[in-house]
Amino acid sequence: MTEARAHFDEALGALVVSGIWHADAASALPKLAGKTVRILDGAGVTQLDTNGAWLLLAAARPQAGDPMPELRGFQPQHLAMFKLVAPHSAATAAEPEPRSEGVLEFTGRGSIAAWGHLVGLLDFVGRLSIELLTLMGNPGRWRWREFGAQVGTVFVGAIPIVVGMLFLLGVVFAYLLGDQAQQYGANIFVVDGLLLAILREVSPIIVAVLVAGRTGAAITAQIGTMKVTEEIDAITTLGLSPLAVLVIPRILALLLALPLLVFIGDIAGMAGGMLVTQQQLDISYFMFMDRVADVLDLKTLLVGLGKAPVFAIFIALIACRMGLSVTRDARSVGAHTTSTVVQSLVAIIILNAIFAIMFVKLGI
């Protein structure tokens, strides 16, 4: 058998090839960068398949706009191969020109995408409201078993990570505050700052972020996978509403679980702070708890807990809507899951900023 061979004739602008041209003959092609192939001479070719024909045409005309070379010396069956491959070779070999996107174009594209998400969310809320009104008129259609299962998944499964995260944040905050307070002899006021930070801001935001990344992404992936496997179509065929079966139990579960997780996070954060103040500032556990009883205002606790249901509703709405928006391919599930986490985090930050401004205006 004759191996594939090729050389470029500078004088004629001809790529002269011979031997057997199959898929593994690519290494026989010479470097043709900056050279124009006008003639493809195959008088010495003994065997040629579609892979070999594609290799030769891709080498002779690497860009879609390059002219077709003159085919010289090929046998009739080889010419038939070129005729079959030629319409597709340039399109597959050509690489698209890199195009830089300007700032205005990037901003406009992002604004349109954000507006589309907002409109889609409002439409989803409208359809969900109608479904809720329908369920209120027929309490027997509530999916209590699904609700219980979701509470177990959302609440019980998240307790360890919430406790661990808030405990460590309580340690960090107490250590940083204590390091500054020691310089002025105001050790006991570390308890005040710790309570204010943990209860009003840190615990609600961190717990919401953890739930968005853990539960929100899981909800989108679950519902999206059900759509890809046509399980949602099966639910509709049975005369059931996907909103009633899948969405509403998950929203109610998040609405119940998030405030409870925030409360658990408050306790874990204070426990972490208590440990540090005892070691670093020599404030005993009894002194810490006495100070908590003196300065803890019910308003401070309720401000943090009051944010949790709002965060829960937005996380649940975004996660369920993105899950139902998945198209019928696996790549869409991943893209929508990522979008759920991003949208939820943005919503949490914006809502927290709104709460901060509102509480300042109201003097809370």
pLDDT-based confidence at 258, cuts 50/70/90? very high
Q: Per-residue pLDDT for 19 more than 60?
A: yes
The residue-averaged pLDDT of 270-285 equals: 85
d(CA 199, CA 187): 20
pLDDT attached to residue 94: 47
pLDDT-based confidence at 64, cuts 50/70/90? low
Sequence-distant (≥ 6) Cβ neighbours of residue 28 within 8 angstroms: 3, 4, 5, 6, 17, 19
- Among 54-63, 133-142, 160-169, 283-292, which range has the highest average pLDDT? 160-169
pLDDT attached to residue 98: 57
Of 64-68, 103-107, 173-177, 186-190, the least confident: 64-68
17 phi/psi in degrees, rounded to 5: -125, 155
- Among 41-45, 219-223, 230-234, which range has the highest average pLDDT? 219-223
125 phi/psi in degrees, rounded to 5: -65, -40
What's the token pair of residue 251? 């929203």
pLDDT attached to residue 165: 93
Is 101 or 78 the better-scoring residue by pLDDT?
A: 78
Q: Per-residue pLDDT for 93 more than 60?
A: no
Q: Per-residue pLDDT for 175 more than 50?
A: yes
Angle between helices 285-295 and 248-280 (to 10 degrees): 130
Model pLDDT for residues 232-251, shown as the tens digit of each residue: 888 888 888 888 888 889 99
What's the token pair of residue 132? 């809720």
pLDDT-based confidence at 90, cuts 50/70/90? low
The residue-averaged pLDDT of 127-146 equals: 81
pLDDT-based confidence at 267, cuts 50/70/90? very high
How much of the chain, in percent, has pLDDT values that exceed 90? Answer: 24
> What is the pLDDT of the chain when averaged over all its residues?
84
Sequence-distant (≥ 6) Cβ neighbours of residue 345 within 8 angstroms: 209, 212
Q: Per-residue pLDDT for 143 more than 70?
A: yes
d(CA 150, CA 114): 29
Sequence-distant (≥ 6) Cβ neighbours of residue 153 within 8 angstroms: 215, 218, 253
pLDDT-based confidence at 219, cuts 50/70/90? very high
